[in-house]
Amino acid sequence: MKPQQQWITVDLNNLGNYSDGINQIYRGEIDGFWIKQVFSPAEMQKVKETLTKTQAELSNLLSTQRYGKLLGAILTENGSDTTKYFRDAALVRQALKKIFPRDYEETIESVFSQLSGGRKVTVAHQKNDYYSSAQVRFTYPNTGGIRLHKGNEFIGLDGFEGLHEIVKLKDCLSYYLVISPPESGGELVLYDDLPEELTVNKEELDLENSLQRRYNPGVGDLIVFHGACIWHAVSEVKGSQIRYSIGGFLGLSHDEQTIYYWA
């Protein structure tokens, strides 16, 4: 198992100790950060209530997934034609301004900036086309959770061409915040002993007996980790409560002067 110090749990006001943290994750020096209380539980309760009230009017941005539902723009939905994606991305960004009592993008950018090594932090964009800043996931009980994956599996898909032009997509980072936890389950599970390239189907893996680390962040906590490189999953949600989470990805520009984030 990897040494535990590669996973850093830190309070928001102590991020100055990791001022180049995002680049350290890229370089493999740190696996990830668990940053406490980026949003307060009271703020996230308001977010949950607003999401519940507005799902009907946001139905054009909702899609059914194996784990439940996703609210957001889907980059690969129409292959290399990203016209609808960028239209939906603009709607998502507008919706987040109404859903969050405190500006979502400004808040997470302020955190990423403290880990940026002085680099500029911004939503990924090409000319006037801005990517979405986040997706909201509703992970339902007894659906198997979010299954084993890592980001490097997907970066060759149609739809990613534009991102490849501006971001070092290989080995990029994932981020998410918990809006509302389930009664049990819904943990982030990192698998430490799986090969970089699998030689068998995922269904044939004995994941229960694999070396794993489990993290269960609290409401309003932010996780930033090496999601493109580390095999990971979200454990099955148990009980009657849906797990609400929000997140996306972030990475360095090719000249390493900017940190872009997107979903």
Tens-place pLDDT, residues 68-99: 999 999 999 999 999 999 999 999 999 999 99
The model's confidence at residue 196, banded by pLDDT at 50, 70 and 90, is confident
Max CA distance (Å), the chain: 48
N residues, the chain: 263
* Average pLDDT of every residue of the chain: 94
The model's confidence at residue 163, banded by pLDDT at 50, 70 and 90, is very high
The model's confidence at residue 203, banded by pLDDT at 50, 70 and 90, is confident
Of 150, 238, 178, nearest to 48 by C-alpha is 178
Look at residue 232 and tell me whether its pLDDT is greater than 50.
yes
Homologous superfamily, domain 4-262: q2cbj1_9rhob like domain (2.60.120.620)
Count the Cβ atoms, other than its own, within 10 Å of residue 156: 10
Residues 99 and 52 sit within 8 Å (Cβ to Cβ): no
Gap between the Cα atoms of 15 and 26, Å rounded: 17
Residues 141 and 186 sit within 8 Å (Cβ to Cβ): no
More confident residue, 208 or 37: 37
**What average pLDDT score do residues 249-261 get?**
97
Percent of the chain topping pLDDT 90? 86
Query: Would you state the pLDDT for residue 130?
Result: 98
Gap between the Cα atoms of 205 and 135, Å rounded: 29
Please write the tens of the pLDDT for every residue from 7-56. 999 999 999 999 999 999 999 999 999 999 999 999 999 999 999 999 88
Query: Would you state the pLDDT for residue 209?
Result: 72
Query: In terms of C-beta density within 10 A (0-12 exposed, 13-18 middle, 19 or more buried), how is residue 23 classed?
Result: middle
Query: Would you state the pLDDT for residue 212?
Result: 87
Give the DSSP letter of residue 138: E
For residue 98, is it left (φ>0), alpha (ψ between -120 and 50) or beta?
A: alpha
Of the CA atoms within 13 Å of residue 7, those in its CB half-sphere come to 18
Give the residue extent of every domain in the chain: 4-262
Query: In terms of C-beta density within 10 A (0-12 exposed, 13-18 middle, 19 or more buried), how is residue 182 classed?
Result: buried
The model's confidence at residue 1, banded by pLDDT at 50, 70 and 90, is very low
For residue 194, is it left (φ>0), alpha (ψ between -120 and 50) or beta?
A: beta
Please write the tens of the pLDDT for every residue from 92-144. 999 999 999 999 999 999 999 999 999 999 999 998 999 999 999 999 999 99
Query: In terms of C-beta density within 10 A (0-12 exposed, 13-18 middle, 19 or more buried), how is residue 25 classed?
Result: buried
